[in-house]
Structure 1
Amino acid sequence: MSAPSTLGERIAVAEELIERAEALSGSRKGGLEGGAKLCNRLKAELKFLHKVEAGKVAVKESHLQSTNLTHLRAVVESAENLEEVVSVLHVFGYTAGSGEKQSLVVDVVADGGHAWVKAIGRKAEALHNIWLGRGQYGARSVVEQAEDFLRASRQQPVQYSSPRVLFAFYNGVSGPVAEKLREMGVAVRGDIVAVEAPEGPRPGARESDGEGPAVLQAARVGRENAVASLAFPTEVKVDVCPRVNLDITTLITYVSALSYGGCYFVFREKVLTEQAGRERKEPVLPRLEAFMRGKELFACESAVRDFRSILDTLGGPGERDRAATLVGRIQVVPDQPSDRALRLVASSKINSRSLTIFGTGDALKAVTMTANSGFVRAASNQGVKFSVFVHQPRALTESKEALATPLPKN
């Protein structure tokens, strides 16, 4: 990623990046979380550059070189190169080693949340010298930043596994820095460049180490001396959670007549007609079966008891037969909500039944399948994020078909 050399080139780059950022957001259903923030930051940079162009702001050339544009360009390019990007410029909270609450900005959250990417546009030489202790006062090395990322990721598990941390270097990284990051468990993307190390102590050396005064000289690092180029991993290795907890909405959806071809009706109930229309456009059962395949299936006693009660009232014969088969595949376990679930405060979206079902899944370290997105959001707003697989709901409709208007099947 070569840096633009003139003011006009920087303006052109900013305009192009705004278009690319808007395309990223527009290409994702419901938009991209943080996409508006990214676009606004790029527009602010463009506004600043236009002021410089008009002579309203006087800045040195060196200041222009150090604008946020390089970093934002790296963020856009990272988001374009990764799969299942869920957010950009996402702020995570975590507890530092000192016990203080801290926040961390992750440039790109990808692979459905399983990968955290820090995009770095600074030059390899500057990064290396900061690591050696030759940066400006207060400048933190990428190794120190990596420690923060790793600590925060351990406190923000996704499906009970810590997200993998990737550092993407768009202006290269020295071999020693890249090697240190990999030793720490950070994946590295970018050009690995050679370094001409001066005489002097190693990073972190003290006079008591016998290496003389801890006075460090700047190292020479050149992009032209690239010795390797590392691409983004084509696939981030994820420890897939082998356990699935089914809530009542999933049990109903799985056996619903709508999910088995009974979606070609106009029902008397508007909500059922709407669900039937969505089912014709996007069948839900294949998604459920794909997620459940090869995993242990669990449901708590409360979920199964209430599911059977609903079936007795609303279920048709086919739905009841499918329910018997499904329950036979499931390990029914006692209600055992986790401690953090029990700390939730009851509300219109958080009732005792949902708390028990999701809390039991949490205690089992299982991913809870659900169509109850309202509970998931309400719990998250109270600081409790459950590992979930959210899908569209389907109601029991077989007993309603006799009074419904059939539709032609294409």
Structure 2
Amino acid sequence: MEPPGTAASAVEDATRRLVALRYRIIRTTISPKDTLLRLINSELSFLRRISASTPSSSPHSFNVGHLEAVVHVLQLPSITGVSRVCKSIALSPSHSIYVDIVCSMNGNPVWFVVSDRNPRYISWDGGPSEKIKGLKFRIAQVVDAASQAPVTLRPSSVVLFFSNGLDESICQKIKKEYESINLEMDPFSYEEFELEHEWTNVVVGRSFMHACVIQIKVDWNCHETNGRNLSNSSSRLDKPISCNKIDEFSDMNLGKSFWSLISGMKCWCCSLAVDTAPEVGLLKVSLGGARTKLVNFDTTAMIAIVSGISNGGTERLLATPESELVGRFKGNYEFVIAQINSEIQSPVISELSAVVSGKRGIICQSVYSEFQELISMYGGPNEKLRAKCLQKLLKVMPDCPSTRLASLKTTRKLALKNKVVFGTGDYWYALTLTANMAFVRAVSQTGMSLYVLEHRPRALIGD
């Protein structure tokens, strides 16, 4: 985008926008904050240098528009599991490719390429000189890299985000070349904040009303993807299902929060279209367009849901003499007290209920076995009943880690057990609920994005 007016006014305008963008990032939960703030501060330093040394008539090109577009994409509801922003991806010791965002979109791994250029200056074939490469070359470069990337980094699609739009003739060329599809994304709402220094009530968001978003599918050349969609009757997954599996628990006092969560979930008791994928020997349920309708529970999530701390036990525990609690929980006393205080401030089941409402739950065999062992050893009568009721609604899947998770080298931080749990959710395109963010961070450091949602941990208290 060309800066309006003189260089001095352009520098001031860019500086104002960057300050507003920095303020917006600090106020939100956007990730990764450190990287974004470092990029903004670097651009602000550049603006300060040219403002002090350059004649006011000299034109300059700024990165503020590109940074605004990147932040806009990161704040879209469909974007999760961001593992890279404005960095090169090393595909081999001698080859890397630059992409703006590596993340998950609706549960699928994607690469984003963001452009803030004026569409008038976007050429398909490039300039007369061979050094001036056009959009065709750039797209081919990224798509080829995506299709040949190691399985741990390979995206399901490349998404091109043109913040100022794109000429229709070029859109048609991309569609013809790659069978691409146009995506509709919600525009960002303008906000006004009172900023520091002399700037107040500065608009900190662009609407991107004219943005053009194009998705190009990447050929995985892998049987794993095909096995998940063997039937065309996936629409059954979206229909309400009545369930009598948990009727036996209806008269039991298991807690209002627990029942609120349970009643909002869908069960698996109806007849679903299934088939067998002989190439991997697993029973597979047709998911089709309902990929984001599944939630994968790890052991921490199941314990948090059935824990007495999450189901009305906080007041009773706080009323118990400290000496009795210390004797009861021993070395875990401080840990349990911290969870009680956390629960009082923000009940965990209320957050999880909004996530699982209207969705079906799955657990892998490893989680099922581990949870059964923990609940039998440490669970109280009510916790055991909640566990039994919850498991009635969940489908136990065979341990089936996705190829990309299984391909990660097993280390202390990337333990095989966790690769199985998260990998099974990844295989089924399911959102994984977890408190195990150490594993998520370790995966992110490899450059891979994961479709996960963090919850605060809760312990079994013998309730």
Q: Normalising by the residue count of structure 1, what TM-score does the alignment of the two structures yield?
A: 0.68
Over 3 Å counting, the alpha-carbon distance change for 1:49 and 1:108 in structure 2 is farther
Distance, in Å, in 2 between the alignment partners of 1:257 and 1:31 is 32
Equivalent position of 2:15 in the other structure: 15
Structure 2: distance between partners of 1:27 and 1:157: 35
Which of 93, 115, 119 is the aligned partner of 1:120?
115
Residue identity matched to 1:91? K
Residue type of the alignment partner of 1:105 = V
Contact 2:162–2:212 (8 Å) recurs in 1 = no
Q: Which residue of 2 aligns with 1:208?
A: none
Query: Is the CA contact (8 Å cut-off) linking 1:298 and 1:331 kept in structure 2?
Result: yes
Q: Which residue of 2 aligns with 1:142?
A: 135
Q: Deviations over 1:328-378 (max 9, x none)?
A: 222223434455545544444344433433344345554432211112222
TM-score of the pair, normalised by structure 2? 0.61
Gapped regions of structure 1 (runs ≥ 5): 190-228, 400-410
The aligned counterpart of 1:280 is: 344
For the 8 Å contact 1:14–1:45, the answer to whether it is kept is: no
Match of 2:263 in 1: none
After TM superposition, the structure 1 = structure 2 runs for residues 118-267 of structure 1, keeping only pairs within 5 Å, are 118-128=113-123, 131-150=124-143, 162=156, 165-170=159-164, 173-181=166-174, 183=176, 184=178, 185=180, 187=182, 231-232=210-211, 240-264=291-315, 265-266=317-318
**SS of structure 2 residue aligned to 1:241:** helix
**118-127 vs 307-316, greater mean Cα deviation:** 118-127
Report the counterpart of residue 201 of structure 1 in structure 2.
Answer: none
Offset of 1:250 from its aligned partner?
1.3
Deviation at 1:249, TM superposition (A): 0.9
CA 1:357–1:79: 2 relative to 1, 3 Å: closer
**Deviation string, structure 1 residues 118-170 (Cα, Å, up to 9, x no partner):** 44344444323xx3443543222223333445556676999x98356243243
RMSD: 4.1
Show structure 2 runs of 5+ residues with no match.
185-207, 216-288, 319-324, 327-332
Q: 1:276 to 1:163 in 2, by over 3 A?
A: farther
Aligned letter for 1:165? V
Q: How much has 1:324 moved relative to structure 2? A: 0.4
Percent identity over the alignment is 23
C-alpha contact 1:113 1:163 (8 A) present in aligned 2: no
- One-letter amino acid of the counterpart of residue 244, structure 1: V
1:75 alignment partner AA? L
Q: How far apart, CA to CA, are the structure 1 residues paired with 2:405 and 2:107? A: 22
1:83 is paired with a residue whose SS is coil
Aligned-pair distance for 1:391? 1.8
How far has the Cα of 1:298 moved from its partner? 2.4
The 3 A distance-change label for structure 1 pair 123 and 314 is closer
Paired residues, number: 343
Corresponding residue SS for 1:102: strand
- Taking the aligned partners of 1:310 and 1:294, their CA distance within structure 2 comes to 28
Alpha-carbon distance change, 310 to 26 in structure 1, aligned in 2, over 3 angstroms: same
- In the other structure, the counterpart of 1:36 is 37
Displacement of 1:43 in angstroms is: 1.6
| Offset of residue 281 of structure 1 | 2.4
In the other structure, the counterpart of 2:375 is: 311
Give the aligned residue type for 2:46.
Answer: E
Distance 1:254 1:101, change over 3 A: farther
Counterpart contact for 1:301–1:332, Cα < 8 Å: yes
Question: 2:334 matched to which residue of 1?
Answer: 270
The one-letter code matched in structure 1 to 2:307 is S
| 2:441 matched residue in structure 1 | 377
